[in-house]
Structure 1
Amino acid sequence: MKTSLKLLIITVSLQFILSLIAIIVFSSEFKNKIVFESGKMISIKQPLKTFKAISISGSVTVHWKKSDSAFVDLSLDSIFKKDIVLTVQNETLNIKAPNVFRKKKMVFVLYSPDIMEIQLNEGAVLLADDTLKGNLLKMKINNGADAKIKFNGQFADIFSDNGSSLILVGSALNASIKSMNGSNVKMDHFELFNGNFVAESGSSVDVLVKDSLTVHALSGSKVNIYGNPKVKKIKTDISSSVE
């Protein structure tokens, strides 16, 4: 009786171990298929309709360069070619890329006249290699997206949320900046005369202001002020700091 029970326990244990090994092997093969399986790298040059705004989402890096005409150079693994959505509707260029591991980064080089409205989402990265020029720059950056933008104009309206980051260089007369939920906005090399800044929920803002500024730093956030503004209006709580 005891011998039979021992054999049964050994048999069940072996079956469990074999099942576990099979699961691990399948998981590894599935992961390799998604992350490491690779086709050849391809490059595509595509003309675009005229647009004034862009919306980018997914694991893609976009370099923007100023041009009189609008077109895009795509460099990506061929296995993702069918997963890229690139359309122009209502003067907005929409780029949607799959959310993949960074080892499969897709790189686009976008050529167009100045764009004054930008939305980034789901880990997208936008790098402005040239300087944007215009009256108003509007940016909304969400969910781990990153951007480095050069801008010279009148007004910058920026909203950064959910662990996103922005580096803004250049100059403007006025700006309204809101950094939320662990986001970071660096403007310490951006010459600004007047600004309204809000940092909440573990976020940070670095600003360079010449004339006047209003600051709200709340819920474990930090605002670093550079320059010597004439007028300062500051609201903070015990968990936050303004320096």
Structure 2
Amino acid sequence: MAAAHEHLADSADETPIPFRQAVEALRAARLRPEIETGPTPAPKRLAPYAYALEATVVERGGGPGGEDRDLADGRLVVLHQPAGDETWQGTFRVVTLARAELEPEMGTDPLLPDVSWSWLTGALEARGVRYGAPSGTVTRAGSHYFGGLAPREPATQIEIRASWTPAEGPGGVPDLAAHLAAWCDLLCQVAGLPPAPLDAAPGGGVVPLPQRRGPQAR
């Protein structure tokens, strides 16, 4: 089964059709121009079949010298167990990570974890995707710099880890392109970007973060 983790096996006969079709839709998804994606090695022990990609929210020309600047990044993994998984309550599972730097004062907001989780559920609802059995964590950490790094301003990092079971459509194939788009909406949300027009759909309920003061070292 190892070949299935290398972004689909070369021998398609060994890869379940629902998994192959779901990943093909994932690859063909159209995303916001600020999002850069690419394949990354998938975990090999979580399910017989897995596919992973990483994404970065890029601010064009936002660096101190006019270079591009990364605002947020993360990873999305699709797991498939053809026989089904009792914990998942389905045959597919989406596992995600989203992280970004925030303004230090935002890290002291006691509602930040709850609001951050609502960004994820709101993004899924805005895209109209059906899912079940969600779970996850929201972690925030503060960094203060000393010595040679003392000129840097204190920074607060947020990390959202989540997983959910996408509802399966015809042929047992979930609409992973919509799930990917919703997750990228979450990435843009934690990056502080304003919602795209589609994010304003009913049920979105998104609240953009304040814009950052200036370039942050990542």
Name the TM-score, length of structure 2 as normaliser. Answer: 0.23
More strand by percentage: 1
Name the TM-score, length of structure 1 as normaliser. Answer: 0.21
